[in-house]
Amino acid sequence: MPKIEIMKYFLILIIVFGNFFSLNAQTTEDSVKSAVNFLFKGMITADPQLLRSCFADSAILQTIVTNNEGQTMVRNEAVQGFVDFVSSQKKGAADERIEFEMIKIDGPLASVWTPYKFYFEGKFRHCGVNSFQLVRINGHWKIQYLIDTRRRNGCE
């Protein structure tokens, strides 16, 4: 085989493998999205191990609510309480559909904003926005802080 053909062959291999690896390489943003998506996979599959694995050991969960007097309040929820409640539902019951609107990353810190619509047992319940703070711990993104809004109106 002439040298030119061997060089063409190797060039083609380099291009093919280069494209293969660049297509399969996960960006930091992709890894953050994946960590967030695991939470919602855990919800829809009612998988307590998957749900728990999404959170850092000292994670904080909060929801912004309006009480009967119309006052805005922040309600705290324990991670284990959330995991226990969601995993006690039948598979497919808790279906939160999100869109990634904003992701900001600085080293081991990521901030993620995800508008969502929540369906329970196939029926629309509410919509709102999730605000996540994730920390990269031992090479894995973990949810350290999650606060959300909830409303029934304005959920086009």
pLDDT (mean) for 36-61: 98
pLDDT at 26: 80
Looking at residue 156, its pLDDT comes to 77
Residue 1 has a pLDDT of 58
Residue 119, pLDDT score = 97
CATH 3.20.20.210 fits 27-149, yes or no: no
Q: With 70 as the cut, is the pLDDT of residue 58 above it?
A: yes
What confidence tens digit (pLDDT) does each residue in 101-126 have? 999 999 999 999 999 999 999 999 99
| String of DSSP letters for the chain | --HHHHHHHHHHHHHHHHHHHHHHPPPHHHHHHHHHHHHHHHHHHT-HHHHHHTEEEEEEEEEEEE-TTS-EEEEEE-HHHHHHHHHTSPTTSEEEEE---EEEEETTEEEEEEEEEEEETTEEEEEEEEEEEEEEETTEEEEEEEEEE-BSSS--
End-to-end CA distance of the chain: 65
pLDDT surpasses 60 at 143: yes
